[in-house]
C-alpha cells in the first residue's frame, strides 16, 4: 500500500542519483501543472462556445492562445535543445526523439488552427490540443525522462538546470531542480 507521507525518491538518494531523481520529479511536476492549466483554459473556452457567449468566448480564446505562446511553445523549444538533444544523440533514444519532435510540430500546427478559428472550430482545436498534449507528456514522463535519468552517459539534472520552461518557476526559486539537495 502506498504511503502518502513517504519521502520522495529524490530526497532519499544522495549524490548524482538523487540529482537525477529530483530533476525527473521536477519536470513531471511541471508537466502536471501544465496539463491542469491547459485543461482549465480549454474547458472555459468550450463552455463559452456551448453557451453561445461571444464575450466569454473572445476572452477565453485569447487567454488560451496567449498561454500557448508564453508557456507551451517555450517549453517545447527548451526541450528540443537540452533534453531531446542529449537523447537524440544516442542509438536507443534517436527514434523516440524523432517521434516526439513530430508531435511538437503537430502541437504547434493545432495551436495555429486554434489561433485563427472561432466558435465550434476553436472548441474542436482546443479539445484536440488538450488530448495531444496530455498524450505527449505521458510519453515524455514514462519513456524519455526515465531514459535520460537512468543513462550514465547523460544527465537529466544538467539538462534542465536553470530552465524555468522545463521545471517551472517554483523550482528555479528553490535553487534548481537538479543539484544542491544533498552532498
Contact between 165 and Fe ion (CB under 5 A)? Answer: no
Query: What is the x/- site pattern for Fe ion, positions 135-154, by CB under 5 A?
Result: -----x--------------
CB 144 within 8 A of CB 96: yes
Binding span for Fe ion by CB under 5 A among 7-15, 60-68, 77-85, 174-182? 77-85
d(CA 88, CA 171): 26
**Shortest approach of Fe ion to residue 28 CB, angstroms?**
10
Residue 90: what are its φ and ψ, rounded to 5°?
Answer: -100, 150
Stretch that binds Fe ion, among 9-17, 41-49, 71-79, 124-132 (CB under 5 A): 71-79
Q: Is 57 in the site for Fe ion (CB under 5 A)?
A: no
Largest CA distance in the chain: 58
For residue 56, what are the contacts with CB-CB under 8 A and spacing of at least 6?
A: 44, 47, 48
User: Of 6-14, 39-47, 74-82, 157-165, which part binds Fe ion (CB under 5 A)?
Assistant: 74-82
Residue 79 within binding range of Fe ion, rule CB under 5 A: yes
Residues near Fe ion (CB under 5 A) are 79, 140
Amino acid at each position: 500500500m502506498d504511503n502518502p507521507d513517504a519521502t520522495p525518491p529524490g530526497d532519499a538518494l544522495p549524490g548524482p542519483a538523487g540529482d537525477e531523481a529530483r530533476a525527473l520529479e521536477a519536470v513531471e511536476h511541471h508537466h502536471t501543472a501544465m496539463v491542469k492549466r491547459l485543461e482549465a483554459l480549454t474547458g472555459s473556452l468550450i463552455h463559452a462556445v456551448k453557451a453561445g457567449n461571444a464575450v466569454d468566448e473572445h476572452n477565453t480564446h485569447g487567454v488560451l492562445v496567449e498561454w500557448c505562446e508564453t508557456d507551451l511553445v517555450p517549453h517545447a523549444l527548451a526541450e528540443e535543445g537540452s533534453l531531446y538533444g542529449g537523447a537524440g544523440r544516442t542509438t536507443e533514444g534517436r527514434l523516440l526523439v524523432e517521434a516526439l519532435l513530430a508531435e511538437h510540430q503537430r502541437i504547434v500546427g493545432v495551436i495555429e488552427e486554434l489561433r485563427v478559428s472561432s466558435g465550434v472550430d476553436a472548441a474542436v482545436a482546443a479539445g484536440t490540443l488538450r488530448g495531444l498534449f496530455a498524450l505527449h507528456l505521458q510519453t515524455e514522463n514514462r519513456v524519455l525522462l526515465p531514459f535520460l535519468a537512468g543513462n550514465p552517459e547523460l544527465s537529466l539534472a544538467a539538462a534542465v538546470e536553470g530552465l524555468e520552461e522545463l521545471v517551472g518557476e517554483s523550482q528555479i526559486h528553490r535553487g534548481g531542480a537538479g543539484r544542491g539537495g544533498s552532498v
